[in-house]
Amino acid sequence: MAEIILHRTGPGVTLQDMGRKGYLAQGLSRGGAADILALAEGAALLQQDADLAAIEIAGSFVSLEVTAPARIALTGAPMRALCDGAALAWHASHALPAGAQLELSGSAGGYSYVHFGGGIEGDDMLGSRSAHLAAGIGQMLEGGGKFPIGADRGSRVGMTFAPLPRFDGGVLRLVETPQTHLFGQDVLERFTATPFSKDARGNRMGQRLVSEGAGFETAAGLTILSESIVPGDIQVTGDGAPFVLLSECQTTGGYPRIGTVLPCDLPRLVQARAGAELRFCFIPLDEAVALERAEAKRRAGLRSAAYPMIRDPHDMADLLAYQLISGVTRGDDLERSAS
């Protein structure tokens, strides 16, 4: 069985999949990849199931090799990727020869993912291979670690796709929470008019946001009873700064919540670079539900959105191995498929 050998890892490198469902009542949140979309993208590039585990790198570095030829895909926050010194394209799939050294470094922030054809087969605990550090499940990966790779049913590499833009901030859409009204109309208006950026203290549990000017605390909210909370909820703690809960958040909380970020917009929060501007806007629930359903459909169709990378023929030592004729189009395919 092929294995991954981790040579060096920085902090914040973990094994992640879609997380654990079904344990909320016992105080264990779902956890899983900080950027679920990046997992789906890697699975689409490798044409495999989206619930296989991948390596998540939180603004850090990794060097590794595999003991047998493997396919990899690189998604999420772009990093500098070198295979035995040669640059690899991000948002793409590649062949990784046995013994070749894969070096990943130089992220501008956010979460990056390395996927393997067949997935990584770390220890399954309660139905998931995800480390949930806040719950004491699993741990950060360290140099010297080894993981088996599952049987790879695919063979295609050199695929790429256009990732959903999510690395430069933008507007995050919110739905109301049972406590939104506690903040008062003037505070809500100021909240949605304020540009925020990420505080350096973010982690997989949550991301604090900072802004110029006054905070957004509400006196009415300081006495509310603890109750169920969900990823995307924006708690306003005593200092008035919004704190957005993420995949490893606790399951209950007593701070007032000003709004809940749509799950389909969370990747734009977790992947926003330091200094990127984030804003909030409330939308009605029915619109949010429609957006979630549309995004789930788009994610499910990512496989067909992957296409071969265009490479410079001078760089292609294996040029003759390519079938260069099929794929010629009539020239108006896009117009026809759009109509």
Partner 1 sequence: MASAHSEAPEPPRISTLGVDGMRVSFGSTLSEAANRAALSFRAAIEAEGLMGVEETATSLTSAYLRLDLDHADHDSLRAKIETLLGSRDWYAAPLPQGRKLWRVPAVFGTDLAPQLEEAAKLAGLSPDAAITALCAAPLRVQTIGFAPGQPYLGELPREWDIPRQTGLTAHVPEGAVAVAIRQMVLFSVSTPTGWRHVGQTALRLFNPDKPDPFILRPGDEVQFQPVTREEFENIRTRDADGGAVSERLG
Residue ranges that bind partner 1, judged by CB under 8 A = 21-28, 125-126, 134-137, 175-178, 224-228, 230, 232-233, 250-253, 260, 262-263, 285, 288-289, 292-293, 296
The smaller minimum CB distance to partner 1, of residues 234 and 272, is found at: 234
CB of 233 to partner 1, least distance (A): 7
CB of 290 to partner 1, least distance (A): 10
Handedness of CA 294, 300, 304, 305 (dihedral sign): positive
CB of 279 to partner 1, least distance (A): 19
The smaller minimum CB distance to partner 1, of residues 38 and 229, is found at: 229
Instruction: Determine the Cα–Cα distance for residues 94 and 77; give it in Å rounded to an integer.
Output: 17
DSSP result, 122-181: ---BTTB---BGGGTBS----TT-EEEBPPP-----SEE--PPP-SS-EEEEEE--TTGG
The smaller minimum CB distance to partner 1, of residues 297 and 336, is found at: 297
CB of 336 to partner 1, least distance (A): 30
Q: How many helices (H) and strands (E) does the chain have?
A: 6, 22
* CB-based contact 178:46 (threshold 8 Å): no
The smaller minimum CB distance to partner 1, of residues 223 and 304, is found at: 223
CB of 240 to partner 1, least distance (A): 16
CB of 53 to partner 1, least distance (A): 16
The smaller minimum CB distance to partner 1, of residues 30 and 91, is found at: 30
Q: What are phi and psi of 300, to 5 degrees?
A: -65, -25
* CB-based contact 60:45 (threshold 8 Å): no
The smaller minimum CB distance to partner 1, of residues 192 and 250, is found at: 250
Instruction: Determine the Cα–Cα distance for residues 131 and 140; give it in Å rounded to an integer.
Output: 7
**Tokens 């505070």, residue?**
187
- CB-side exposure of 271: number of CA atoms within 13 Å? 25
CB of 220 to partner 1, least distance (A): 11
The smaller minimum CB distance to partner 1, of residues 100 and 131, is found at: 131
CB of 226 to partner 1, least distance (A): 6
The smaller minimum CB distance to partner 1, of residues 25 and 334, is found at: 25
The CA-based dihedral angle spanning residues 156, 159, 163, 167, taken in that order and rounded to the nearest 10 degrees: 100
How large is the C-alpha radius of gyration of the chain?
21
Instruction: Determine the Cα–Cα distance for residues 15 and 115; give it in Å rounded to an integer.
Output: 10
